[in-house]
Structure formats: C-alpha cells, structure tokens
Amino acid sequence: MTDFSKVKSYYTQFNEWSRLDAPSGKLEFELTKKIIMKYLNDDDKILDLGGGPGRYTIELAKLGYLMSLADISKELLNQARAKIDKLALTNVEAINEVNAIDLSIYDDDSFDVVLLMGPLYHLTKYDERIRCLKEVHRILKQNGLIIASYIPYLSGTIGIIDRFFYAPSHVGKENLKQVFDSGVFINKDTKGFQEGYYPRTRELEELTHSIGFKKECIRSIRGFGFNREEEILKLKDNNEEMYNSIIKLIDKTAEESAIIETCAHALYVGRKTE
C-alpha cells in the first residue's frame, strides 16, 4: 500500500506553490489552464482533488467558477485557506482534507468536473488507482469530466536515472530496477519525492475506460517545450510573435505518442459515460 504518511511528509518539505512559478512550472501552469478552459462550461461545479495549496482552485475561482478543494495535506490546505481568505474569494465552496481513494464525504453526481492533478503520481498500488478513479466516477454527474495529470512511464523512469546523478542517496540498483520493471518508484532516502507511479499511457487509457470514462484527449502538457521552458518564456516579453508560434506548435504536436511518453507531465481528459 502507498505510504500516505510519506506523501504528507514530502509536501511539508516541498514548496508546491512555488513549483508553478519556476520556469518549468510556469509554462506548465499556463498551458494547463489553457487546456482546462477548453473543456469548461460557465456554470460548472468543479472539485480540485489533490489540489494542494490551491493554484488551480484560486485561478478558476477568480474566473467565477464554483470550486471545492481537497487534498491529503493539512499543511497545503492551510496555505490555500490563507490565500483564498486574503483574496476574499467567496465561490470556494469547501476545503476538505481527504485521501483521493476515499471520497465518501461527497455525494454521488456532485460535480461537473474533477481535476485530478496530483494523486495519480502517488498511488503505487493497482487497487488504489481503481478506488480513486471509481470514486471520481461516482461523484461526477453524467457526462461529467475528469482532467487527470500523470507522469508517463518513460518520462518517470528515465527521470529516476537523472535523480541518481543529483541525489544518489535516493536511488540504488534495486529501486532503479523496480521502477523500470513496474513503474513504481520507492525512494531509498527520507528526503525528496518518496513514492511514485509512472504508467504507460495505454494502461491508463484502458483503466479509465474499464471504469466508465470515454477518452476526450490525451496529451503532453509542455510537449517539446519540456526542458526549453525558460527560453520559451523569455520570448513572451521580447518576441511575442515567435512565442505564440511555438505555443501553437506545442499544442499541435502534444498528442503525438512519442511526445506524450518522453516530455514530462501529461493530461488525460475523459467523460463519464455510464
């Protein structure tokens, strides 16, 4: 079973809010918002599940959407409450401390959209992923939408080799072999990202389909912008025409399987059909 205490502990050490301010995170944040907005209706009721300090909750609440935020980390939720209170956002309906595999505090057919922008990174057991996705399916209205981020197998596993070079105490021969064999990473150290799961895209698509979701889209978020974020963002200020051209090309190629599998975080968008 996933050690959820390690997940909580990690987010007491890691600045999740600022992750989306760094160049790689900033480009991801901008592109993710653009993707999300493509699928939303004005009157949608949205749950940001695993939303941590509330970056997407706050951004969408500013635009007038009725939001609920849920996360396993009390510390991150406290950060979100402080920021939401400071902004006097009145359309954040609830902030709940929950585990994504048990959404019993929510009624059936409660939400038009569920953003699942973190839990799939951490659920290392098959039955946990099933429970999470079944719960999301249950609380979504008919034709409701799930927008879920994940780290594809090749991006995740190759990233563990990179981790060995900058944090060798995290990675040894045994857990390196394990992550390449199973997609499951278990950190040898108590510091840094502790436990992760990196699915093959076809596995995630088959799993969601078996639960009752119909795929709308699977794409890389940053696409070929991965590892080029700082240079691309600089263009926004000094060559906006080229910046816009590159963003259009990222979007145009983002559903290519080679891009999805090798360019960091990806998004699955699916609709509840049964």
The reply to whether 94 and 158 lie within a common domain is no
The reply to whether 181 and 234 lie within a common domain is no
The reply to whether 61 and 91 lie within a common domain is yes
% of the chain exceeding 90 in pLDDT: 88
State the pLDDT at residue 96: 97
The pair of structure tokens assigned to 26 is 């900033």
Instruction: Please say whether the beta carbons of 95 and 120 come within 8 A.
Output: no
The reply to whether 33 and 103 lie within a common domain is yes
**Residue written as tokens 């390196």?**
176
pTM summary value: 0.95
The reply to whether 133 and 166 lie within a common domain is no
The reply to whether 184 and 247 lie within a common domain is no
Mean pLDDT in the chain?
95
State the pLDDT at residue 29: 95
- Strands 195-197 vs 184-186: parallel, antiparallel or unpaired: antiparallel
**Total tally of structural domains belonging to the chain:** 2
The reply to whether 66 and 173 lie within a common domain is no
The reply to whether 164 and 217 lie within a common domain is no
Domain boundary among 190, 208, 242: 190
Domain boundary among 164, 190, 216: 190
* Residue 110 burial (10 A CB sphere; 0-12, 13-18, 19+): middle
Domain span at 227: 4-152+199-272
Interval 207-250: pLDDT, tens: 999 999 999 999 999 999 999 999 999 999 999 999 999 999 99
Q: What is the CATH number of the domain that holds 127?
A: 3.40.50.150
The reply to whether 145 and 170 lie within a common domain is no
**C-alpha span between 113 and 41 (Å, rounded):** 10
The pair of structure tokens assigned to 230 is 């700082």
- Angstrom distances, CA of residue 22 to CA of 33, 180, 251: 16, 29, 21
The reply to whether 255 and 230 lie within a common domain is yes
Give the count of beta carbons closer than 10 Å to the beta carbon of residue 70.
Answer: 24
Closest to 269 (Cα-Cα) out of 198, 222, 220, 224: 220
The reply to whether 132 and 161 lie within a common domain is no
Closest to 29 (Cα-Cα) out of 40, 17, 38, 39: 17
Interval 132-185: pLDDT, tens: 999 999 999 999 999 999 999 999 999 999 999 999 999 999 999 999 999 999
The reply to whether 54 and 136 lie within a common domain is yes
Confidence class for position 1, pLDDT limits 50, 70, 90: confident
